[in-house]
Amino acid sequence: MTFFPSSRRWALAASVLLAATGTAAAQTMPNAVRVAPTRDSSSVYTYVEQMPQLPGGGSNAAIMAAIQARVAPTGGCGGKVFVSFVVGPSGVVREAKIIKGLAASCDEAVLAAVRQLPRFSPGRQNRRPVSVVLTVPITF
């Protein structure tokens, strides 16, 4: 006996399978996208209904400007550093890491600037505060 699921069941089964395996197709789903759990075993999202914001509001451009304002001038840096960090449910920045760096001095300056960021308004999914990972480019 052969089992042919209806197209709606098949699409649901495929999306669940893709989400479980963490493929890129799962990240194009219209709902919030989860990333691997962190140490505290709660989910970390890449996109939520309400993204984290700095005090006073602002988008990614405001976050980039806040980091660049805190970067100590370093000589010999020219280019972009991509930094990733998690904004927790309490709005605290944690787990900052360099995704693509330039030189060690430039990378350390960006990490130090991210650690100095103020407490964010946390990201929200289904009206609950959740952890959200952000990746921003910092230009030297």
Structure tokens at 31: 């709902």
- Ranges of each domain in the chain: 1-29, 31-139
Alpha carbon distance 139, 79 (integer Å)? 6
Task: Give how far Cα 123 sits from Cα of 11, 78, 86, 128, 138, Å.
Answer: 29, 32, 10, 8, 22
Give the three-class secondary structure for 79.
Answer: coil
70 pLDDT band, cuts 50/70/90, is: very high
Alpha carbon distance 27, 15 (integer Å)? 10
Average the pLDDT over 105-109 and give the result.
Answer: 93
Q: Which residue has the higher pLDDT, 135 or 5?
A: 135
Q: Which residue has the higher pLDDT, 8 or 53?
A: 53
Domain 31-139 falls under CATH 3.30.420:
no
What's the mean per-residue pLDDT of the chain?
78
